[in-house]
Amino acid sequence: MSTSAQTAQAHSPYERAAQFLEASPDYRVLRKLHPVRGFHPARAGAASRVGVAVDVETTGLDAAGDVIIELAIQRFRFDAAGRITEVGQPRVWREDPGRELDPRITELTGLTNAVLAGQAIDEAVAVEILGSADLIVAHNAAFDRPFVDRRLPAIAGKAWACSMAEPDWLALGFDGRALGYLVAQCGWFFEGHRAENDILALIYLLAHDLPQERTVLGELLAVSQRPSYRVNALDAPFEAKDRLKARGYRWNAAMRFWSREIAEEACEDERAWLSAQVYTAGSPGHAAPAFHAVSAAERYTGNG
């Protein structure tokens, strides 16, 4: 939103009414998200980095068989404190999947076979924007990244962060993890399940100011840069599957083992739990868990 538009909105009768309601503890006001060019002025001489917000709509949930039907990306600049200083223009492409859409996908996204017919992602532009990123951010990177890496293999290996899974939202004063719910707690609303609206909401969420001059993006950066480990419960006994599932492990059907990702400081406790609950005295002698270090460039690839 331009400065003049912001000024006009601030003096509108609706904004005055909103401020009047906000003065009462009995009301909460949500404002509609509008395009914005930045949230904080760039500090003179301060270094900046490039982020790209990403969201996809797809034909289904299986990255190995389903495909992207809408891709939205938006570049932004941020400083060392995680303050977003500049927001670029969103780029949104639709793509013909070459198959009939499930009616439930149309109901969810509003996209139809007729709308998608003959459409294609501008691969060169998408790769240029994503390739410029120091960090790619999605609000469910475990879902979005495998689709993007498969469709645009030239950007495979970039660092990704997940704004849904990585921040400790409860510790930051929020309830839940859904994008719309988090944004509403910041005082905003948007029309969901359209990729362009989702990336705008994501950028607003990342820019949200926290106490002590922190931002959500600053918190995400700190968490994303910490080392983590993927634990593969190789040759785990079948009877341990319920305990592994309850612990947060997910079954990798291709590799045939249970796996989860944990923080570096949790490795010792995880080894002890696996020893006591999975790899007990009755387990096969060769069975043992494998711990692999994971960087932001490797997270959410879908590879066990």
pLDDT tens digits for range 169-220: 999 999 999 999 999 999 999 886 678 899 999 999 999 999 999 999 999 9
Residue 6 in this model has a pLDDT that exceeds 80: no
What is the pLDDT averaged over residues 125-139?
98
Residue 3 in this model has a pLDDT that exceeds 50: no
What is the pLDDT averaged over residues 129-141?
97
User: Which domains can be identified in the chain, with CATH numbers?
Assistant: 1-29 (no CATH), 33-224 (3.30.420.10), 228-294 (3.30.70)
What is the pLDDT, as a whole number, of residue 205? Answer: 97
Q: Count of alpha carbons within 13 Å of 268, Cβ hemisphere only?
A: 1
* Average pLDDT over the chain, rounded to an integer: 91
- What are the tokens at 29? 């006001």
Residue 118 in this model has a pLDDT that exceeds 70: yes
Dmax (CA) of the chain: 74
Answer yes or no: are the C-beta atoms of 89 and 171 closer than 8 Å: no
What is the pLDDT, as a whole number, of residue 284? Answer: 57
Answer yes or no: are the C-beta atoms of 219 and 240 closer than 8 Å: no
What is the pLDDT averaged over residues 26-51?
91
Give percent of the chain with pLDDT exceeding 90: 79
Answer yes or no: are the C-beta atoms of 113 and 138 closer than 8 Å: no
Hey, what's the torsion of the CAs at 117, 123, 125, 129, to 10 degrees?
Answer: 120
**4: confidence class by pLDDT, cuts 50, 70, 90:** very low
Question: How does pLDDT run across 242-296, given as a tens digit for each residue?
Answer: 999 999 999 988 889 999 999 899 999 999 999 999 998 665 555 789 999 999 9
Question: How does pLDDT run across 225-241, given as a tens digit for each residue?
Answer: 888 999 999 999 999 99
Answer yes or no: are the C-beta atoms of 234 and 288 closer than 8 Å: yes
CA–CA gap between residue 53 and residue 169 (Å, rounded): 19
What is the pLDDT, as a whole number, of residue 195? Answer: 80
Answer yes or no: are the C-beta atoms of 77 and 50 closer than 8 Å: yes
What is the pLDDT, as a whole number, of residue 301? Answer: 87
- What are the tokens at 80? 């060392």
What letters, b where the CB count within 10 A reaches 16 and e where it falls short, cover 129-163?
A: bbeebebbbbbbbbbbbbbbbebbeebeebbbbbb
Q: Count of alpha carbons within 13 Å of 233, Cβ hemisphere only?
A: 32
Query: Whole-prediction pTM value?
Result: 0.86
Residue 67 in this model has a pLDDT that exceeds 80: yes
